[in-house]
Structure 1
């Protein structure tokens, strides 16, 4: 259900590129100055689409 997700500036998908093999992905929310980034995790190199964040568990849904 769509209401389980927090979208970045109401955009349902954003794409991030992971450059290093064990890259730490920080996605800019652009919403809160106090906490402007969301830690996504360590991912292999490549492009990923961030689908959204579960509002209760802060889990990030990623689609490569």
Structure 2
């Protein structure tokens, strides 16, 4: 399954600079395709709300 997520779409998901930096750290470590798919899935799980940043970050890392 291949997902096409643009950088603009991703940047909107990561509203804080640290989130954007963390995304790039994950991409470097695990690869863009995997991370984009995980971010897409986790965003559905947390209903696109990034207010609970620690929970969101933990969900992504658990999925990786």
TM-score in terms of structure 1 length: 0.25
Which is higher, the Rg of structure 1 or of structure 2?
A: 1
Higher helix share: 2
Higher strand share: 1
